[in-house]
Amino acid sequence: MNFQKVSPGQEIVFRANEWNAMLGAGAAWLNGLLTVNAKVGRRREGIIQIKNGTANAIPPYRALALDEPLLGQDVDAFQDEFAFNGVTPDPENEPTHRSRVAILLAPAAAGDIVPALIRGQIVLPIRVYDVAHNRARVIADGTLQSCTFGPVRILGVQETGENKLCLCDVDGFDGGHTLIKVPSGGITAGTYAAPEETLCRIAWPHADTGAATDHPSETDHRVNVFNYGPEIAHSDGKYIHARIMAGRIIPDIEYCSED
């Protein structure tokens, strides 16, 4: 049907089908005002863009710790792509670096922006100490070592040694664990509303054996542990697993063990 413009004062005569079509078009337009259409972005699940914020070239399958997000001129850019600045991991001194990491999927010169994996399955080269280890942790140079905690879950491994290819699942922020040594006075009980802080020492696995050992520098690596649960008594040589949550180190009672 052909709608024509009319002049002021001109008589308008509608056919029934024209009138109904106009009403239908108006209703459809009004309904469209109330409809929110999701924008189809280019972002791939589990993959972000990361800028090599270090001074060195980083090979693929190394880890960088996530720092500040990179915000472009367009505030809607995050609908299409997540981008972060990546820094050299310092897991012994920066609790968030034990879990907030991304695995580079391409080589990155200093200042380059490349895709990186923060969640999902991937084959990674890992220094495997024990085929029974089911986790991998990031060390200071961005490489991975097998352990009993860490941001990467090991799904399949065949032998021990350097750079052994392992089928892995990157957990993202959910994999932050460490080992802490219970002090002589124990860890004070706390509640969810009022957690108690206790000064403890982090115990990192030995570089050659993967076994938990005291760090040589007690003062440099003492941390405040926030306990939301019952008291944890001291016993000689006792380590407990702790979880990293929102930058806090929290005893994980379910995983307490003698190591």
DSSP the chain: -------TT------HHHHHHHHHHHHHHHHHHT--PPP---PPTTEEEEEE-SSS-B-TT-EEEEEEE---SSGGGGGT--EEEEE---TTT-GGGGT-EEEESS-B-TT-EEEEESSEEEEEEEEES-TT--EEEE-TTS-EEEESSSSEEEEE----EEEEEEEEEE-GGGG-EEEEEPPTT-B----SSSPEEEEEEEEEEPTTT--EEE-S-TGGGEEEEEE-SS-B---TT-EEEEEEETTEEEE-GGG----
Tell me, what's the pLDDT at 33?
Answer: 55
Residues 132 and 209 in one domain: no
pLDDT over 60 at 218, yes or no: no
Given pLDDT bands bounded at 50, 70 and 90, which one contains residue 247?
A: low
Are 160 and 229 part of one and the same domain? no
Domain shared by 127 and 220, yes or no: no
pLDDT for residue 21 is more than 50: yes
User: Is 132 a member of any domain?
Assistant: yes
Count CB atoms within 10 A of the CB of residue 85. Answer: 17
Residue-wise pLDDT tens digits, 134-156: 888 888 788 998 877 778 889 99
Instruction: Look at residue 1 and tell me if it is in a domain.
Output: no
Answer with the one of 122, 141, 175 that is the final residue of a domain: 175
Higher pLDDT, 232 or 238: 232
Q: State the pLDDT at residue 105.
A: 94
Residue 73 — pLDDT band, cuts 50, 70, 90?
low
Domain final position from 157, 175, 193: 175
pLDDT surpassing 90 at residue 17: no
Question: CA–CA separation, 89 vs 163, rounded Å?
Answer: 19
User: Which of 179-193, 209-223, 233-247 is most confident?
Assistant: 179-193
Q: Which of 175, 208, 235 is the last residue of a domain?
A: 175
Residue 78 within a domain: yes
165 and 186 assigned to the same domain = no
Range of the domain at 193: 177-255
Q: What is the DSSP string of 162-202?
A: EEEEEEEEE-GGGG-EEEEEPPTT-B----SSSPEEEEEEE
d(CA 127, CA 136): 9
Q: What is the pLDDT of residue 209?
A: 57
> What's the number of domains the chain is made of?
2
pLDDT in tens, 174-215: 445 567 788 888 888 888 788 888 888 776 655 555 555 555
User: CB-hemisphere CA count at 13 Å for 105?
Assistant: 15
What the block records as the tokens of 184 is 């002589």
pLDDT at 120 over 60: yes
More confident residue, 259 or 197: 197
Indicate the pTM of the whole model.
0.56
